[in-house]
Amino acid sequence: MNDQAEALRNLVKNKMLQEESRTTRVVTVTSGKGGVGKSNFSLNFAITLQRLGKKVLVFDADIGMANIDVLMGVSSTYNLYHLLKQEKTIWDIVQAGPEGLNFIAGGSGFKDLLDLSQEQLDGFAEEIGKLHGKYDVILFDTGAGLSKETVKFISAAQETIVVTTPEPTSITDAYALIKMVKAMNVEVSFKLIVNRAADNREGKQTADKISLVAQRFLQSELPSLGFVPDDPNVSKAVKRQQPFTIAYPGCDATLAIERIARQFLDLPQDSEAGGGVKGFLHKMFKLSR
């Protein structure tokens, strides 16, 4: 019995040490315009990262079109609003989706961030701070476009994946978003995803076009993580309310997401992103003042 108790204590101790040493990578996923498949990418990217051995949390930070739970076909009991109103703790609003993926449902709560008292802000920060070390990656799926809430998340997270499609309007809006953030003189590491590419050539050409313009006019590097093909199985999965990486594990889109996830994990983590959750909170509330 004593041996069992000692083994349990060691297990708990090892888990605590692992969490203390874990660096949480805080990443925003955004787009210049709606309808480019940003949330679908975020969800399937998160699932794939988890399959590759990472502990992942998806935070639905889209104020107007929060839909991560709908894409998964699950109903969320609590969301950020309940946390801001101090009705629930952070662990009450973290819920489990397919394959055990943790997520926090979105809602109107992010607008309330602008109107919180200092006491409420401190309470919110304390709760969010509890996520530090619990996850390898926290993905904030932000709203599309140039809202002030989205820009705050991009600026605070330090690492942002911009999702675009080969359509000219999508490319233009993606570039406009990057330009606006760069004009704020904040250090943000952007990476690009081209979604719904007809083939390898179109995916590469689209990425090269945006990267060259960013380099020329913004003096900014915009590396590409890859592209996701225009796969009919994606829309089929949406109708089934299942992530396509689960519904169609062998389809072209799933294989592309796997390549993207591996490349993402192979890249060295940006030094500015090393602040993890605590660094994110510090920057977020600094920008809110």
- Cα-Cα end-to-end distance for the chain: 55
pTM, full prediction: 0.88
Give me the pLDDT at residue 13, please.
Answer: 52
Check: CB of residue 190 under 8 Å from CB of residue 30. Answer: no
Check: CB of residue 233 under 8 Å from CB of residue 199. Answer: no
Q: Where are the domains of the chain?
A: 23-288
Which tens digit of pLDDT belongs to each residue from 51-72?
999 999 999 988 667 789 999 9
Residue 269 DSSP symbol: P
pLDDT level of residue 34 (50, 70, 90 thresholds): very high
Check: CB of residue 190 under 8 Å from CB of residue 222. Answer: yes
Give me the pLDDT at residue 257, please.
Answer: 98
- Averaged pLDDT score across all residues of the chain: 87
Q: Best-predicted range by mean pLDDT among 62-66, 69-73, 147-151, 273-277?
A: 69-73
CATH, domain 23-288, list 2.60.40.650, 3.40.50.300, 3.40.50.970, 3.40.50.720: 3.40.50.300
CA–chain centroid gap for 127, Å, is 19
Count of Cβ atoms closer than 10 Å to residue 123 Cβ: 15
Checking if the pLDDT of 109 tops 60, the result is no
**E strands along the chain, which residues?**
25-30, 56-61, 94-96, 102-104, 137-142, 159-164, 189-197, 224-229
Residue 280: C-alpha distances to residues 40, 56, 74, 88, 156 (Å): 24, 16, 28, 22, 5
